[in-house]
Amino acid sequence: VSLHPGPVFSSRPARTADRRIAVVTALVMAALLVIVGQLWYLQVLEGGRFLDASDKNRTRVRPVAAPRGILFDRHGRPLVDNRPAFTLSLIPRELDRDPVRRDAVLGRVASLLRIPYEELVHAAERASPESFQPVRIRRGLGLEDVAKVEEWRLELPGVIVEVEPQRAYPTSRFAAHLLGYVREATDEQLRQGRYRRGDMVGQTGLERLLDEYLRGRDGGEQIEVDVIGRPVRLIRNTEPQPGAQVVTTLDRRIQEAAERAFEGHAGAVVVMDPRSGDVLAMVSSPAFEIDRFTGTIDRASWLAIVQDPKHPLLNRTIQSQYAPGSVFKIVIAAAGLQEGKLAPMDRVFCSGEFQLGGRTFKDWKEGGHGSVDLYRAMVQSCNIYFYQAGLKIGAETIGRYARAFGFGDTTGIELSGEKPGLIPGPKRDRRGRLIWHAGETVNMSIGQGQVLVTPMQVARFMSGIANGGVLWKPRLVQRIERPERGVLWSDPGKVTGHFDLSPVVQEFLRRSLWGAVNAGGTGGGARIPGFDVAGKTGTAQSISKSRADKGQDHAWFASFAPANDPEVVVVVLSEGGGKGGRVAAPIARKIYETIFLERVAAIEIGG
């Protein structure tokens, strides 16, 4: 092999080589044109799409939760508040893509904050790995835990601590059933598509009813990040819009007084303004700790509350039905007088027993009340008188009056799950025979048997007695407003029914109810000297008669005050409390004493 290049291409003319070079040149230029074509496709034809993709690449939206609207009482005192709380969240897109390293990060979080590791893995896998939407792990993180996460921040990619506004309550059980609790959207709610995962949603009470208004609109920070997710700059900031403010009909002072007075009892208290149907206080006991739901509640605690045999989640003012007991005697008296079946002067001798069809119906008082007229029968709550009165009036008429007074049907209160109660009546079977016994009429006359009412129905009925026959829809919300936009919604109050009792009958009822409290009657426990409380006690046998427990009787006290110009209706029901006069009436008295503090004090000083 010679190192010197010799004369070559002797067999091939140079022109062939020239042609070949020209072809090669053409091929290379053609290839460049193909590239230009591809650039035209990418940049001009599909450019917009790629521009979107590049924006999506670099921008992240960091949601900023809107504070929920505040609920106020009728005098502008807040019933709930918001305070900033720390939430531990995962950003799926920023977690390590390598499952081993990701799990190492989650393991570190688990050991730092003592959160079950499986819970973290489950949460991380629940969301799409491309999602920037934070997955909330723990709400209401303590400062110590926040410090730990911040300290390890560089070792914990994809783990963040967010600051979110969270509900704060004056006391943990305050008006729990009325307000309702706020909790992360459930799977069911997510399926309905109105909420995103992690949204805080009102689940019961007013929080649920008014969720649409209270939730506000979440804001967000649109930030530009680099390839490893480090924020580079803020592009746009949308301020969160806080929820609307709700002015309720509640009076925080009365609510607190009612809760204090009812402490240790199970049952319900309703305080209502008979002139408008405004609910001033609504107590259901036992209550639940409303703030336990706000943070992330673990499954065991949740089950403990749901499966509690005392049913703390039940709003007993509207969701529990009870026999009204002697409170129902007001219905009998009103029906009898109005229909002319009873005359105030008629007397009945009460021996303590009443025979009907071989059955013996007893009075609550051993030995009876002796000779009583309607007034004394109301004051002393004499069963024997009302047995006979009921038979005279008849079950159908009693039923008609009871329904006119709003029993046997829902009150129309906006809270969900309201029970209608039950007013039984004579029915005929297919062959036209009555399925009704006189004994049932007798039981009905003292509010026993199948009669069922809710405390809210009793409060509305007592308001009707107090205000001359108007049945108001119990009002909970006066108005919803936004500081910048004014009133969004308001409830002027709604009359749902009306009953006509002659003034004489009304006056008689008022006087006898006053007498029951102030003239040595069964309601003496509610008496405030110098201040006129009118009311009727009741002692209702609970439905579960099978239990031998004598203490199962429910204690009722339905009342209004002042007797001559009623401003407030107070209904107390103590489950298993025993005698209405002994248990329920004193609770009502304590509530009245708070409501009419100034007047009562003035009377005491003056007297």
435 contributes a contact to another protein by CB under 8 A: no
8 contributes a contact to another protein by CB under 8 A: yes
Of 6, 264, 483, 607, which lies in the binding site for another protein, with binding defined by CB under 8 A? 6
Which residues between 398 and 427 bind another protein (CB under 8 A)? none
Minimum separation from the CB atom of position 223 to another protein (A): 12
| Residues sharing a CB contact under 8 Å with residue 193, sequence separation 6 or more, in sequence order | none
Binding mask 77-116 for another protein (x = CB under 8 A): --------------------x-------------------
Of the pair 33, 504, the CB lying nearest another protein is at 33
Among the residue ranges 4-12, 176-184, 296-304, 377-385, the one whose residues contact another protein (CB under 8 A): 4-12
| Residues sharing a CB contact under 8 Å with residue 551, sequence separation 6 or more, in sequence order | 576, 578
303 contributes a contact to another protein by CB under 8 A: no
What is the chain's alpha carbon radius of gyration, rounded to the nearest angstrom?
Answer: 37
Of the pair 24, 343, the CB lying nearest another protein is at 24
Binding mask 170-209 for another protein (x = CB under 8 A): ----------------------------------------
The residue with tokens 């059933």 is 177
Among the residue ranges 12-20, 335-343, 346-354, 521-529, the one whose residues contact another protein (CB under 8 A): 12-20
Among the residue ranges 24-32, 74-82, 134-142, 286-294, the one whose residues contact another protein (CB under 8 A): 24-32
Residue 462 falls in which region: left (phi positive, over 0), alpha (psi -120 to 50) or beta? alpha
d(CA 351, CA 65): 70
Bond preceding residue 424 cis, omega within 30 of 0? no
Structure tokens at 115: 């959160």
4 contributes a contact to another protein by CB under 8 A: yes
- Is 520:375 a contact under the CB 8 Å cutoff? no
Binding footprint of another protein, residue count (CB under 8 A): 51
Of 44, 300, 435, 605, which lies in the binding site for another protein, with binding defined by CB under 8 A? 44
Of the pair 33, 306, the CB lying nearest another protein is at 33
Among the residue ranges 34-42, 306-314, 378-386, 587-595, the one whose residues contact another protein (CB under 8 A): 34-42
Of 42, 147, 487, 602, which lies in the binding site for another protein, with binding defined by CB under 8 A? 42
CB contact burial 477-488 (16+ within 10 A = b; e otherwise): bbbbbbeeeeee
d(CA 89, CA 92): 9
Among the residue ranges 5-13, 325-333, 351-359, 461-469, the one whose residues contact another protein (CB under 8 A): 5-13
Which residues between 459 and 488 bind another protein (CB under 8 A)? none
Minimum separation from the CB atom of position 300 to another protein (A): 39
Minimum separation from the CB atom of position 158 to another protein (A): 15
Q: Which H or E run includes 366? A: none
Q: Which H or E run includes 452? A: none
Minimum separation from the CB atom of position 10 to another protein (A): 8
- CA 318 centroid distance within chain: 12
597 contributes a contact to another protein by CB under 8 A: no
CB contact burial 355-373 (16+ within 10 A = b; e otherwise): eeeeeebebbeeebbeebb
d(CA 347, CA 384): 11
Of the pair 103, 532, the CB lying nearest another protein is at 103
Minimum separation from the CB atom of position 234 to another protein (A): 15
**Phi, psi for 407 (deg, rounded to 5):** -85, 160
Minimum separation from the CB atom of position 62 to another protein (A): 17
The residue with tokens 């703030």 is 291
Of the pair 230, 431, the CB lying nearest another protein is at 230
Among the residue ranges 15-23, 105-113, 497-505, 533-541, the one whose residues contact another protein (CB under 8 A): 15-23
The residue with tokens 């949460």 is 123
Of the pair 33, 304, the CB lying nearest another protein is at 33
Amino acid 160 reads I
What strand order describes the sheet that includes 267-273? 278-285, 267-273, 568-574, 554-561, 534-540
Q: Residue 232's CB: how many other CB atoms inside 10 A?
A: 10
Q: How far is CA 312 from CA 304, 429, 472, in A?
A: 10, 40, 28
Of the pair 31, 602, the CB lying nearest another protein is at 31
128 contributes a contact to another protein by CB under 8 A: no
Q: How many residues does the chain have?
A: 607
d(CA 265, CA 76): 29
Q: Residue 188's CB: how many other CB atoms inside 10 A?
A: 7
Binding mask 211-240 for another protein (x = CB under 8 A): -------------xxxxx---x--------
Of 57, 128, 186, 351, which lies in the binding site for another protein, with binding defined by CB under 8 A? 57
Minimum separation from the CB atom of position 102 to another protein (A): 14
Of the pair 24, 306, the CB lying nearest another protein is at 24
343 contributes a contact to another protein by CB under 8 A: no
CB contact burial 573-590 (16+ within 10 A = b; e otherwise): bbbbbbbbbebbbbbbbb
Minimum separation from the CB atom of position 82 to another protein (A): 36
Where does residue 41 rank: exposed (0-12), middle (13-18), buried (19+ CB within 10 A)?
Answer: exposed
489 contributes a contact to another protein by CB under 8 A: no
Minimum separation from the CB atom of position 81 to another protein (A): 41
9 contributes a contact to another protein by CB under 8 A: yes
| Residues sharing a CB contact under 8 Å with residue 155, sequence separation 6 or more, in sequence order | 105, 108
Which residues between 244 and 263 bind another protein (CB under 8 A)? none
Of the pair 60, 136, the CB lying nearest another protein is at 60
CA angle 233, 235, 238 (to 5 degrees): 125
Pure H helices in 415-477: 438-445, 455-467
Point out which residues bind another protein (CB under 8 A).
1-6, 8-12, 14, 16-18, 20-22, 24-25, 28-29, 31-32, 34-36, 38-40, 42-44, 46-51, 53-55, 57-58, 97, 224-228, 232
